[in-house]
Amino acid sequence: MSFEKEIAEMKVKCKKRVAKLIGLIFIVNVLMAAQLINKLMPFANVTEHYASMLEGFQYGLIFGLLIALIGYMVYYTLAARRDDMAKQLYVKETDERNIMIKEKAGIKFFLLNIICMTIAAVISGYFSHIAFFTLVGTVYFEMLLMISLKFYWTKKL
Amino acid sequence: MKTRIADLRKLKKLSQDELASELGVTRQTITSIECGKYVASLQLAYKIARYFDLAIEDVFVFSQEECGK
């Protein structure tokens, strides 16, 4: 069976994803520059020790996000150019067992929850360090749960 | 569900990787189907049967208990 049509469609998808990632990288860079130069918002109700910790967390998060986005951009750029990588990506994304594992483990739900909670943690850091640590703890717990469920269903199916 | 994929594959001297590549699925999916851990969808079952030039019931062995599940 040949997958020429599917590979061509995947390459187009990859190009669109690269364009979206470039936009996201630009937004993250603007956010980082604003935070570095102007300090978007001062931390309220927290001691200097916690303020420095929260700031460190924010920079770490932004740098981590940037590295991940650049990594994905490089991966999709290569996939948009190379047939073997495009086919590999197509198989990975359309494989019915992989889709079932993701559905059973609720990966989409967990990812959405993790993203929302991380944003909430960053915002709550400006007001209360207790809320910040609680949310970050919950994010780590959810990540662990998501990985465990994915592992469980990968073994089971 | 029991299948004859492993036997048919060996007859054609194909590895799991090669069959997976021909069908557009991952090697792990073929392994799981062969082990009976994962039941292929009708679409994939049809693709597999067509690849071996056989009918679906010649590749996949349905038992009465499985139909009642």
Per-residue pLDDT for A70 more than 90? yes
B3 phi/psi in degrees, rounded to 5: -135, 165
Please answer yes or no on whether A95 and B26 come within 8 Å at the CB atom.
Answer: yes
Please answer yes or no on whether A95 and B25 come within 8 Å at the CB atom.
Answer: yes
Average pLDDT, rounded, for chain A:
89
Confirm or reject contact between A92 and chain B (CB < 8 A): yes
Model confidence at A80, pLDDT cuts 50, 70, 90, reads: very high
Q: pLDDT tens digits for B11-56? A: 999 999 999 999 999 999 999 999 989 999 999 999 999 999 999 9
Rounded to 5°, angle at Cα B5 from B66 and B10: 155
Give DSSP secondary structure letters for A34-57: HHHHT-SS---S--HHHHHHHHHH
What pLDDT score was predicted for residue A125?
83
B2 min Cα distance to partner chain A (Å): 15
> Any residues with CB less than 8 A from the CB of B28 and at least 6 apart, and which?
A97
Per-residue pLDDT for B61 more than 60? yes
Burial of A149 (0-12, 13-18, 19+ CB in 10 A): middle
Per-residue pLDDT for B68 more than 60? no
Does ipTM come in above 0.90? Answer: no
What pLDDT score was predicted for residue A45?
63
- Strand-pair category, B2-3 with B60-61: antiparallel
Which residues 25-54 of chain B have a CB within 8 Å of chain A?
25-26, 28-29, 32, 37-38, 40-41, 43-44, 47, 51
Please answer yes or no on whether A157 and B41 come within 8 Å at the CB atom.
Answer: no
What pLDDT score was predicted for residue A72?
95
Average pLDDT value for residue range A105-127: 92
What pLDDT score was predicted for residue B51?
93
Please answer yes or no on whether B24 and A3 come within 8 Å at the CB atom.
Answer: yes
What pLDDT score was predicted for residue A59?
84
How distant, in Å, are the alpha carbons of A58, A81, A156, B16, B32 from that of B41? 45, 31, 17, 18, 13
How many Å apart are CA B17 and CA B28, to the nearest integer? 9
What pLDDT score was predicted for residue A41?
63
To the question of pTM greater than 0.90 for the whole model, the response is no
Both structure tokens of A28: 């993250």
How many Å apart are CA A43 and CA A45, to the nearest integer? 7
How many Å apart are CA A48 and CA A14, to the nearest integer? 45
What pLDDT score was predicted for residue A5?
87
Which residue of chain A is at minimal alpha-carbon distance from B45? A96
Per-residue pLDDT for B66 more than 80? no
